[in-house]
Structure 1
Amino acid sequence: MSRVFLQAFTLAVAAFLAACSPIKVLNALTPSNTFTKTSAIAYGDDPRQKLDIYRPAPAISNAPVVVFFYGGSWNSGSRDDYGFVGEALASRGIVVVIADYRLYPQVRYPAFLQDNAHAVAWTYQHIAEYGGDPQQLYVMGHSSGAYNASMLALDARWLKEVGLTPSIFKGWIGLAGPYDFLPIENPEVRPVFFFPDSPPDSQPINHVSREATSSLLIASTDDKLVNPKRNTGGLAEQLRAVGVPVEEVYFSKTNHQTLVGAIAKPLRWLAPVLERVTAFIRATGPAGSSARQSPTK
């Protein structure tokens, strides 16, 4: 396959992804020999309270662990659509948990955060059975999933309900996250947060403290859905102001949707998102972390 054809093909895929949510097409192009998958593990009683685990193949022990939450404006999304995220991180020596959670209109804020906390608690208690090290635990998300990850990392209320604290995280990773979005402009999101009576404590930026764990915040300069300067830039500034280590990264060839798509093998030429995530995990983990160096893209 010529380089010109490959680039034209990946551009076409990128254009498709920009117009689609949730992302499905990348899974058909995702390798299947880099991981083993355990599907549909229940972490609660509701049909939406299930998670999948992606383990590196060949298996390794005491691997770093990432719990990933997808986006979708808190009203759509499925863990099945994000197999490409599980594959990408597993190929770098990371055990990945991708969890479904209840969505609007079934629930509103903060019920989905309570689901997320239960998924993290299940992971913390059981992931050693799947080769993961619970002492190397990270939470990560894209878009509204990045909001979820940030709230678990910054607001201790949710993990407290399951007998844990944010100190269990070695770090957290946000891709194109909304962290400061009141008053709410998106009509799809307004009912999720009881607009116009949206509670200020629903905003991650209002929970910054010096006890927060290290963070990696990645955004696209061409994000038309979530303002990167206000959200990623604003949260990074607040974290630095209280002395919390934070990496703030922007990419110009991506948009809100393709930022997460760039994790997948066919679109990695768009931006080194996967490389930045794995480098962050290696840097914040213990010496000799099992996270693998990036092989050929």
Structure 2
Amino acid sequence: MVWILGIVAMLAAALVGIWHYAINNNAVALLDGVDRVVGGTRGTRTALADGHYGPLADQRIEVVVPDGAATAPRPVIVFIHGGGWHSGTPGEYHFIGRTFARQGYVVVLVGYRMVPEGAYPRMLEDSALAVAWTREHLAEFGGDPERVFLMGHSAGAYNVVMLALERQWLGRAGVPEGFVKGVIGLSGPYDFYPFTSDSARAAFAHVADPALTQPIHFARGDAPPMLLLTGDADTTVKPRNSFALAKALTAAGLPTAPVVLAGVDHAGPVLKLAQPFMRDRRVIDPVLAFLAAHGAPSAPVQAAGR
């Protein structure tokens, strides 16, 4: 019996190691494969694979939905991936789609141009066009236009928070004020000038006024509500980013408090949205509570499994 427990522990440690290696080396497709093998696809369906919201190769979009007919329009999550603005594709993040589709959400996975072509402000222009595409097409996938939320990890968290704070991006794309009902930022950079990483310099160093690239510069009291979730062991995007933006939003009239996870690093918030690591509920529970508090209660349609 003891040797069996030892093997199980070694396998669990190996899975964690694989997951962190993949996140840190931008091999997220491997992570998606682990989730698919462990959690299966039951209860979910890919409604759109390798679609496009624009004419460029990186302007890609994929949609994952709950399997089966909807009895009412479903809330929508638009998820924008991380990768330092230089790597990643929406197809690698189907585990995010499966996790939230099982909770009754239509999940739109967004790609955008990568650096150097995608340097500021291109990543924001593309992300806004993807939200506009979602607004135009969500009914085709059973989505509810009154319950649309943005979510992103790392560089993707920057994208979604900037869309929510600086009105020009969604406005230029034809998305009306108030369309986005809430924003979830996981391990996001919001107050990171001066630029100290190669990724940030490649994406933003060319901007004449760096303050204009910083979400904290646009904090406003009438922005959509925000959930800023970070780990206290994140050395890639330090937790002070979430604290600083939360403080600025609160001062502007939008009370915001970061959710800080003890012992969790930069990859941790994404890891804990996939099987088998979602047994640690410290990410999924506050995310679902935030969505419910702002009009999108969960309606689980199927547990994970084959």
With the length of structure 2 as denominator, give the TM-score of the two structures: 0.89
Instruction: Say if 1:293 and 1:131 are closer, same or farther in 2 by CA, change over 3 A.
Output: closer
Aligned to 1:26: 31
CA distance in 1, matches of 2:302, 2:209: 42
1:41–1:51: 8 Å Cα contact kept in structure 2?
A: yes
Instruction: Say if 1:207 and 1:132 are closer, same or farther in 2 by CA, change over 3 A.
Output: same
2:42–2:304: 8 Å Cα contact kept in structure 1?
A: no
CA distance in 2, matches of 1:196, 1:242: 26
Aligned to 2:13: 11
Structure 1, unmatched stretches of 5+, are none
* CA deviation map 1:113-140 (0-9, x unaligned): 0000000001011101101101100000
CA distance in 2, matches of 1:5, 1:213: 47
Aligned to 2:268: 258
2:77–2:107: 8 Å Cα contact kept in structure 1?
A: yes
Structure 2, unmatched stretches of 5+, are none
Aligned to 2:44: 35
* CA deviation map 1:84-117 (0-9, x unaligned): 1111011111110001110102231001100000
Instruction: Say if 1:55 and 1:3 are closer, same or farther in 2 by CA, change over 3 A.
Output: farther
Aligned to 1:292: 300
CA distance in 2, matches of 1:203, 1:296: 38
One-letter amino acid of the structure 2 residue matched with residue 75 of structure 1? H
Instruction: Say if 1:155 and 1:40 are closer, same or farther in 2 by CA, change over 3 A.
Output: same
2:52–2:59: 8 Å Cα contact kept in structure 1?
A: yes
Instruction: Say if 1:276 and 1:186 are closer, same or farther in 2 by CA, change over 3 A.
Output: same
CA distance in 1, matches of 2:164, 2:223: 7
With the length of structure 1 as denominator, give the TM-score of the two structures: 0.92
One-letter amino acid of the structure 2 residue matched with residue 212 of structure 1? A
Which residue of 216, 226, 244 maps to 1:215?
A: 226
2:106–2:142: 8 Å Cα contact kept in structure 1?
A: yes
* Overall identity of the aligned pairs, in %: 35
* CA deviation map 1:183-219 (0-9, x unaligned): 0000232021025846211100011111111111110
Instruction: Say if 1:107 and 1:26 are closer, same or farther in 2 by CA, change over 3 A.
Output: closer
Aligned to 1:159: 170
Q: Secondary structure at the match of 1:224?
A: coil
One-letter amino acid of the structure 1 residue matched with residue 141 of structure 2? Y
Instruction: Say if 1:257 and 1:163 are closer, same or farther in 2 by CA, change over 3 A.
Output: same
Task: Kindly report which structure 2 residues correspond to 1:80-229, keeping only aligned pairs within 5 A, or say none.
Answer: 80-194=91-205, 197=208, 199-228=210-239
CA distance in 2, matches of 1:293, 1:241: 39
CA distance in 1, matches of 2:6, 2:225: 40
Which residue of 76, 86, 90 maps to 2:87?
A: 76
2:43–2:303: 8 Å Cα contact kept in structure 1?
A: no
* CA deviation map 1:143-164 (0-9, x unaligned): 0000001001111010111122
One-letter amino acid of the structure 2 residue matched with residue 292 of structure 1? P
Aligned to 1:244: 254
CA distance in 2, matches of 1:196, 1:115: 18
C-alpha root-mean-square deviation of aligned residues, in Å? 2.3
CA distance in 1, matches of 2:42, 2:195: 43
